[in-house]
Amino acid sequence: MYHSQKIGVFISHIFGVYQQGVCQGIIDKALEYGYTAEIFTSLDGENLGVYEIGEESILQIPNYDSFDGIIFASDTYISSDLKQKILNKLRTLTCPIVDITVADSQFPTVSLENSSMSGELTAHFLTVHHASRVCYLGCSEESFVSDLRENYYREALKKHGKTPGDKDVYHCSYDTAAVSKALAFFCEAGTPEAVVCYNDRLALLFFAAALAAGFRIPEDIAITGCDDTPEGHNTSPMLTTVSFPVYELGVNAVENLLTLIRGGSLPPTTLLSAKPIIHNSCGCSSSENANSVFFVQELSSRIATLESSILGSMSMSASLQHITDLDYGMELLEQFVQRIENCREFYLCLYSDWDSVSSHILALTNNEETVTDTDTILLKFALKEGKRLPECSYRKKNLLPDYIYDDSDCAYIYIPLFFEDKAFGYIALSYTDNQIDYHFRLVQWQININQMLQSIREAKRTGMLVARLEDIYMKDSLTGLYNKHGYNHFEEQLLNHAISEKLPLTAFLIDMDGLKNINDTYGHSEGDFAIRVLGQALESTAGEGDLCARFSGDEFYMLTAGLTDKEAKLRTEAIEAYLESYNRLSSKEYHISCSCGFSSALPTPDFTPEHIQELFAEADKRMYEEKSRHHAART
């Protein structure tokens, strides 16, 4: 059963090792205490231009009243703008909040303290290996943490009566050439005995640069890293590093949050300390020996997976690129969702106004579009344990329909769907046994889905504009009936239908009586009004498939298929009856009337539009006979 007790989690870049470790700790510990985690993740600060301004739509997804508490992993946000907007929202809430961060926060924080370990590793070189010169290699791309670790390095030297020399500290980027320059910089003062590196990634780059320069590790230069990556386990010698207990960080955050939920108190900061992991690269003798064959196999598998991911994303992008029909898009999407490893459930939820167009376009196209029920969400796509579920609508108080929550113990990850500043909705997904397996390629898939939804929205917008242009080209602006272009476009279609079904064609010609008198006496605006009323009379009495048109002036054309002479006569009487009814109800000082004439023929296969013109010529003759009778009756 889906737990009614919920913990909300805000975290960015969930595909990262750190983020997944933290989230897994949160999910497992929350379930242990009867809580479900709902994780809201975004992709901010990745230089995606105007696309990324929609990331803040993540704030529209949650039902904040449903949370017993919230965990905010603020350090995962690259964009200070999005971080601040989330923070501003959290400040308005009354539920307990815990922040996972190394910086100051207005909420109780849980911090992973592994920067001081650079000081311990420095001391390790000085005391265990009796190094006389220890250097520090920092990272210019991550200066905040790098500078913090450098400070601990300097403090350790100071405690042992040493200070770094002019050639003992260097900062560079994650670039092979830059790291080689760092090695050359250190060597300007002689070969360094030991180098404490900012993290494993930088340490491995320095490791490779030293080997390429002919140095032995650790005999000539001893090296340490930080953050304990799999790559560091598989060097020879193995890299001495620092633990990275991110799972425990998530567990600790939940434990602290539960303390607040139960009314307890916490210190401003709770520190979770890392520990040195001593291997061989520092010069120590370790019993652990890496067998590189397993790592090679793992790398080969990762490369193959990456290649498959790239090809899959390209295929998905190509498939969804020009989709204009949402239902067809969902059918294509199912093929790709089925390929997500260990995905237990996948839902695509759309806001009721997801495909709305601007008021400017509505005004241009003479359309109205109002969405008043903004609390309704459409579950457009649902896949649970490999089976497609029917779409449905539900109220926004829950992020998914109640029937999905029933008998569920899943922790759901929510990802916003948007294009620029237009929010479409969100994706919700869960994994088998609640073990997060979110891969980077899903970021590209998310972008592909966003672009598909935008294409459908643009197709709707374009369709409205095209329809308006067609109206302008094919319809009479005064009456809304077809003009000459519109009539000519559909005439052949109606003719072919009559021929194939062996139906009689009837051509009507209708002309208003006394239009000149209305114009002269009451003005041309009243004359236009009278023409519109006659147009409404034709439109209201026409049958399905009949072709009604006004080419100009007060003369109207109607072409029908299937009327007998008796029915044609009844049609003219119906037009006259409409006008008589209007005149009885109208407050106008003039009456509106018309004269009608019609002519019929059973078209043969060689019947042409010229024959139809002959019918109209005959109808015109009869119309003028009718007009003469009306004139005689009035005089």
Question: Rounded CA gap, 6 and 34, in Å?
Answer: 9
Peptide bond between residue 192 and the one before it cis (omega within 30 degrees of 0): no
CB 264 within 8 A of CB 39: no
The Cα-based distances of 106 to 87, 100, 103, 416 in angstroms read 10, 12, 10, 27
Q: Which residues contact 409 (CB under 8 A, 6 or more apart)?
A: 1, 2, 3, 31, 36, 434
CA–CA–CA angle 254, 256, 262 (5° rounding) = 100
Question: Rounded CA gap, 100 and 72, in Å?
Answer: 6
**Predicted pLDDT of residue 173:** 95
Percent of the chain with pLDDT strictly greater than 70: 92
**Predicted pLDDT of residue 1:** 47
CB 545 within 8 A of CB 561: yes
Bridge partners (DSSP) listed for residue 41:
11
**Dihedral, CA of residue 568, residue 574, residue 575 and residue 577, to nearest 10:** 150
Three-state DSSP string of 406-470: CCCCCCEEEEEEEECCEEEEEEEEEEHHHCCCCCCHHHHHHHHHHHHHHHHHHHHHHHHHHHHHH
- pTM attached to this predicted model: 0.77
Question: Rounded CA gap, 213 and 195, in Å?
Answer: 15
**539-556 pLDDT per residue, tens:** 999 999 999 999 888 999
pLDDT at residue 190 is higher than 70: yes
Question: Rounded CA gap, 93 and 87, in Å?
Answer: 10
**Predicted pLDDT of residue 239:** 94
pLDDT at residue 372 is higher than 60: no
Confidence band of 43 (pLDDT split at 50, 70, 90): confident
Confidence band of 3 (pLDDT split at 50, 70, 90): low
Question: Rounded CA gap, 20 and 41, in Å?
Answer: 11
The Cα-based distances of 192 to 104, 218, 244 in angstroms read 36, 11, 27
CA atoms within 13 A on the CB side of 480: 11
Question: Rounded CA gap, 509 and 521, in Å?
Answer: 26
How many C-beta neighbours within 10 Å does residue 489 have? 15
Q: Which of 452, 449, 447, 453 is CA-nearest to residue 321?
A: 452
CB 9 within 8 A of CB 416: no
Q: Which residue has the tokens 């929510």?
A: 414
DSSP state for residue 542 in the 8-state scheme = P
Strands 505-513 and 593-601: antiparallel
**259-316 pLDDT per residue, tens:** 999 999 999 999 998 999 999 999 998 655 555 655 566 667 666 666 676 777 777 7
Three-state DSSP string of 553-597: CCEEEEEEECCCHHHHHHHHHHHHHHHHHHHHHCCCCCCCEEEEE
Nearest 5°: phi and psi at 631? -65, -40
Strands 412-419 and 422-431: antiparallel
Average pLDDT, the chain: 90
Q: Which residues contact 392 (CB under 8 A, 6 or more apart)?
A: 378, 379, 401
Over range 148-177, report the average pLDDT: 96
Confidence band of 32 (pLDDT split at 50, 70, 90): very high
What domains appear along the chain, each with residue ranges and CATH number? Answer: 117-226 (3.40.50.2300), 484-634 (3.30.70.270)
Confidence band of 233 (pLDDT split at 50, 70, 90): confident
Tokens of 558: 């109607």
How many C-beta neighbours within 10 Å does residue 591 have? 15
The burial class, CB within 10 Å (0-12 / 13-18 / 19+), for 12 is buried
Over range 86-104, report the average pLDDT: 93
The burial class, CB within 10 Å (0-12 / 13-18 / 19+), for 366 is exposed
Strands 109-113 and 134-139: unpaired
DSSP 293-312: HHHHHHHHHHHHHHHHHHHH
Estimate to the nearest angstrom the gap between the alpha carbon of 363 and the chain centroid.
27
**490-522 pLDDT per residue, tens:** 999 999 999 999 999 999 999 999 999 999 999
CB 141 within 8 A of CB 205: no
Radius of gyration of the chain (CA): 38
Q: Which residues contact 445 (CB under 8 A, 6 or more apart)?
A: 313, 316, 336
**Predicted pLDDT of residue 396:** 84
Q: At what angle do helices 524-541 and 565-585 cross, to 10 degrees?
A: 140
**Predicted pLDDT of residue 373:** 64
Question: Rounded CA gap, 356 and 425, in Å?
Answer: 13
Q: Which residue has the tokens 């961060």?
A: 101
Tokens of 378: 């459409």
Q: Which residues of 94-109 are buried (b: 16+ CB within 10 A; e: fewer)?
A: ebbbbbbbbeebebbb
CB 565 within 8 A of CB 505: no
How many C-beta neighbours within 10 Å does residue 488 have? 13
User: How far is the first Cα of the chain from the last one, in angstroms, to the nearest whole number?
Assistant: 88
